[in-house]
Amino acid sequence: MDKFKEVQLIELGGKESDFGGSTVSCSGSSGFSLEEKKILPQEKYQLYRFEDIPDYLKDNPFIHTRYRAYYTYREAFGSLFRIHNETGNIWTHLAGFLVVLLLIMPIQYSFFLPKEASLLDRVIFALFLLSAAKCLLCSSLFHLFIGCSRDAFKRWGCWDYSGISTLICGCYCIVVYYCFYCDTLIRNIFLGVIFAVNFTGIIGPQTSAWSEPWFRLFRAGIYLLCGIVSTVPILYWLCKHGIPSTMELGHATNVLGIGWGSLFALEMCIWLAGVGVYAWRFPECYLPGKCDVLFHSHQIWHTLIVLGVLVHYQLSLQLLKWRLSGVPGGGCSARTSLFSA
């Protein structure tokens, strides 16, 4: 008796399945209904077509083949080094995670950050990079274990949601911190509000209600509120200083010779382009079945997220150098406390 047949008999209380010998469950995992057990893996790392996978995996009808389903966690981890339609999704963010880890290493403090930067400046940068690392790692794990079971899909999907909120919070907090570097009270109020609002999106996915269908509108409203509230400090800055001057601020401290506002606009364009590609499902919507392994929309979206994180890191460095440079409008002594004036 093969291992799949044996597992099936154990789960069905020693009785034969009505679906015949080809029906087995994902060994070592739970969360499959009998309907989901109609197609069984007959060999390790078996791949499936769209019509043969459980409904919860049928997200993109333009991706036709190379789906993983009914995997154990051990098999899912082993598939990290195999070719399937999630390989690119996993490695685009896993590679980005490794790059971010390198930036957190102590060497980056002496190589990238100016020597005038205080310990608090270094902590602020580390927190931003850790928020990016969490987002990229959670996304990679979600795509790695997505084919284990419906329960695994929901569990790791919640971590993926949480990672997105963490990255949004980290990105806005570091920009607000340096935009209002010299305005202690305003800076801390904005930071507190941004953190409080985004904290809901960070811990919310860990609650049982978060992934329920009836909570969908509430979930969308929470993310919309997070985005609006996080943008308010930037709008306040633009109203106070104007768009033209913001686009040019700090250009003298940038090797590219462009202002941090221009970099921020570039970053927003990158992420909006990623959202557009993801929502449009381009290019696979025009080439169904042709982008199953490479160059489908989710891979492009992931790549643009990593690029956006790196651009954000560069503009944050530029903001810090501008604040410490002593140039008109930017000069401030390095802060050693969130409450120092």
Q: Backbone dihedral region of 217: left (phi > 0), alpha (psi from -120 to 50 degrees) or beta?
A: alpha
Cβ neighbours of residue 70 closer than 8 Å, sequence gap 6 or more: 24, 25, 26, 29, 32, 36, 37, 39, 40, 41, 147
The reply, when asked if residue 84 is annotated as ligand binding, is no
Q: How far apart are CA 264 and CA 250, in angstroms?
A: 12
Q: Cα 160 to the chain's mean position, in Å?
A: 6
Residue 123's H or E segment, with its range, is helix 119-145
> Could you give the C-alpha distances from 91 to 136, 162, 273, in angstroms and in order?
10, 20, 20
3-state SS assignment for residue 68: strand
Half-sphere exposure of 131 (CA within 13 A, CB side): 24
The reply, when asked if residue 302 is annotated as ligand binding, is yes
Q: How far apart are CA 53 and CA 56, in angstroms?
A: 8
β-pairing, 47-48 vs 67-68, is antiparallel
Give, rounded to a whole angstrom, the gap between the first and last alpha carbons of the chain: 74
User: Could you please report the per-residue DSSP string of 178-217?
Assistant: HHTTT-HHHHHHHHHHHHHHHHHHHHGGGSTTTTSGGGHH
Scanning the structure block, which residue is given the tokens 């979206």? 301
Q: How far apart are CA 68 and CA 84, in angstroms?
A: 7
Q: How far apart are CA 4 and CA 22, in angstroms?
A: 9
User: Could you please report the per-residue DSSP string of 278-332?
Assistant: HHHTTTTTTSTTTSSSSS-HHHHHHHHHHHHHHHHHHHHHHHHHHHHH--TTT--
Binding-site members are: 143, 298, 302
Binding-site members for Zn(2+) are: 143, 298, 302
